[in-house]
């Protein structure tokens, strides 16, 4: 039983990480204002949201499983307050920080219409901090952190998200960038 929980906890963590990578990439795609292949823009927005929520659900699975697990023995305080854990406090603390950030990003995302654009935007940018922290946590804390398949997965995610961020920072990122730079049309 314990072994199953342990395995489930680890796998849901990995799934959550992959989904968060996809969420970040979709967020950036969204921001560019472009549709993806035949998927219209509003569907992209919904996709970004739903993938984010799904990733969060898996993150919760990950945490609950490890709280129930007799080996990891995560307690409620460790879930919310970073760097206090008994086992690899730093790496586990990163996970806690990432979780707190996810809570903030998701909660403000769902309350966007109440909060107003400015606060939403400010908090939402924390996504960019959250993702590498979560990746660090996965590599440093995980039992699989150094196994070959995980390294390949982590490197792949890093390359994908890194490429998306680099594109985000490039001059022609916005769909309408060319027209807005003012060529005579």
Partner 1 sequence: MTEILHIDWTRCDGRGLCTELLPTVLVRDDWGYPLALQATNGNRSNPAISPGNIEAAREAVHLCPKLALSLVPEQAKPRQ
Partner 2 sequence: MTIQEAVGPAVDTLRGSAGTYQLFAAGSNAGLAEHEQAFGPLSLAAIDAGFMSVLGESGLTGRGGAAFSSWRKVAATAQGRGAALLPAKPVVIANGAEGEPLSFKDKTLLAHAPHLVIDGLLIAGRAVSASLLYIYTTPAAMPVVEAAVAERRDARKIKVVQAPETFISGEASAVVNSIATGVALPLDNRRRLSAAGLKGRPTLVLNVETLAHVALIARHGSGWFRAAGSERDPGTRLVSISGQGAGQVLEVEGDARLCDVLSSAGVDLSTVGAVLVGGYHGRWVRDLECRLSPSGPGENVINPGAGVLHILPARDCGLEATARILDYLARASAKQCGPCMFGLPAMARVLSAIAYGDRNPRLVLELERLTKLVGGRGACHHPDGTARLVSSALEMFAEDMKAHLLGTCTRETRSAI
Contacting positions for partner 2 (CB under 8 A): 179-180, 182, 184-185
Task: Annotate 74-105 with b (16+ C-beta within 10 A) or e (fewer).
Answer: beeebbeebeebeeeeebbbbbbbbbbbbeeb
Number of residues near partner 1 (by CB under 8 A): 18
118 or 148: whose CB is closer to partner 2?
118
Taking the C-alpha atoms of residue 177 and residue 172, their distance in angstroms, rounded to an integer, is: 5
Question: In the window 35-64, what residues touch partner 1 (CB under 8 A)?
Answer: 35, 40-42, 45-46
Measured between alpha carbons, how far is 81 from 122 in angstroms, rounded to an integer?
22
Rounded Cα gap, residues 11 and 18, in angstroms: 11
Interatomic CA distance for residues 62 and 58, integer angstroms: 6
Q: Does 176 bind partner 1 (CB under 8 A)?
A: yes
Closest approach, Cβ 82 to ligand HEM, in A, equals 18
Q: Using CB under 6 A, list all residues that contact ligand HEM.
A: 20, 23-24, 27-28, 30-31, 48-49, 52-53, 102, 105-106, 109-110, 121, 124, 127, 130-131, 168
Residue number with CB closer to partner 2 (147 or 176) = 176
């Amino acid at each position: 039983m314990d072994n199953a929980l342990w395995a489930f906890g680890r796998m849901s963590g990995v799934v959550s990480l992959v989904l968060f990578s996809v969420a970040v990439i979709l967020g950036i795609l969204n921001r560019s204002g472009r549709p993806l292949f035949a998927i219209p823009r509003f569907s992209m927005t919904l996709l970004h949201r739903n993938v984010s929520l799904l990733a969060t659900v898996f993150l919760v699975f990950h945490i609950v499983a490890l709280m129930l697990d007799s080996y990891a023995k995560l307690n409620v305080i460790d879930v919310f307050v970073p760097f206090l854990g008994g086992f690899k406090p730093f790496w586990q603390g990163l996970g806690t920080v990432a979780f707190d950030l996810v809570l903030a990003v998701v909660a403000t995302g769902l309350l966007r219409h109440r909060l107003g654009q400015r606060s939403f935007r400010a908090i939402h940018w924390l996504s960019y901090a959250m993702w590498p922290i979560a990746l660090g946590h996965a590599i440093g804390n995980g039992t699989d952190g150094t196994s070959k398949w995980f390294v390949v997965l982590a490197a792949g995610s890093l390359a994908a998200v890194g490429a998306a961020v680099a594109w985000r920072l490039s001059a022609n990122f916005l769909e309408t960038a060319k027209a807005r730079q003012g060529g005579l049309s």
